[in-house]
Structure 1
């Protein structure tokens, strides 16, 4: 059974991307279409790599990290090593997100405290003055 192929336009439409974004992913080494003259021909493998690249982006991974992980699965290495590396990347990213979340929570707590103080000051300023 012949492998399914896609044009850049088909992938762009399917994934709601611009063709420029797909060419960027190609330049980053995430996709490797073959050429038929000036036209790029993407395989099912390229489509799967694009799917995984977009998933990695949603997770907040850098494109270089996504490429490294995808390339590991293309090599005939030990799966345990690949999974350990993937877990390492995910763990580091999770730690970064948790630190950002803690910082955001601290900022939110500060905003709430300032709102409380401003409301109290407004209430005091709105009371009629006794004579």
Structure 2
């Protein structure tokens, strides 16, 4: 089975909202909500991949913070996904959507009410319980 390493950004704002993105309907796992991000390329750190993916897919720059929970592993028919999600802050706000149909800022309580890919499920549950005011972006 193909092993695919993926990274996502739990982008938070100063008001404690989380940015989520909806996959385009025609894509694999279409119309489901996810954390923006993408595949980690060979030799790339998850943080570098996340910065690259946000630039490619949204035309935005981010600061990457600590990892949210642990890396989730889920087997789909197309491969085994290893998903790591990191807190992030936006430095720019272009949201040039190439892979997604829309983005939304949501409250933590709204996260569990959305339809997510199975790999995201446990991370979403963990994120919903974290005090976002305690998340630090210090080097």
TM range (shorter): under 0.3
- Scaled by the length of structure 1, the TM-score of the pair is 0.24
- Quick check: which one's helix share is greater? 1
Which protein shows a greater Rg? 1
Q: Which has the higher contact order (CA 8 A, sep 6+)?
A: 2
- Scaled by the length of structure 2, the TM-score of the pair is 0.23
